[in-house]
Amino acid sequence: MTGESFRLPFSIQNVYQGLAEAGGIISVRQEGLLLEFQVKDSFLGGLIKAKPRELLLRYTDIESIVTKSNIFRTVLKIRTHTLAAVADLPNSDRGEITLHLKRADRERAAQLVSRANLRISELRLSESERLGLYED
């Protein structure tokens, strides 16, 4: 599975104090995670929709990415180094976002987290080597 074809649907709940919700797709890219999403109303069956938007979350901006699961749900939690990295995403809070996933996508979510963490580690190691902080 190539990075370009690895896509996972998500939702963001209780947007605007429950008046709306967001749905989208997160894709693994070489430079970061691409979140494509659209906000729609919750009370008219999605009749009112905002334009679809994109947010590229660069690996260098990600502090941590994990999945949390229980019997009922799976969530993907992403924490960033800055508030600005996720400021345009609905319900971002203190540089952290929570994406709700379908139970059926748990394994794919774990793969996404693994790929992202590998890329983040590679970039951190490369930066350490560039700064001379790591030597063989």
SS3 52: coil
pLDDT of residue 3: 41
DSSP at 61 = G
Averages of pLDDT over runs of 10 residues in the chain (136 residues) are 69 86 92 94 78 94 93 92 92 93 92 92 83 64
pLDDT of residue 5: 61
Smallest Cα–Cα separation from 9: which of 93, 134, 99? 99
CATH number of the domain at 7-131, please?
2.30.29.30
Name 11's bridge partners: 23, 100
pLDDT of residue 135: 58
Smallest Cα–Cα separation from 80: which of 126, 33, 36? 33
Could you identify the residue written with the tokens 């370009």? 4
Domain ranges of the chain: 7-131
d(CA 27, CA 117): 14
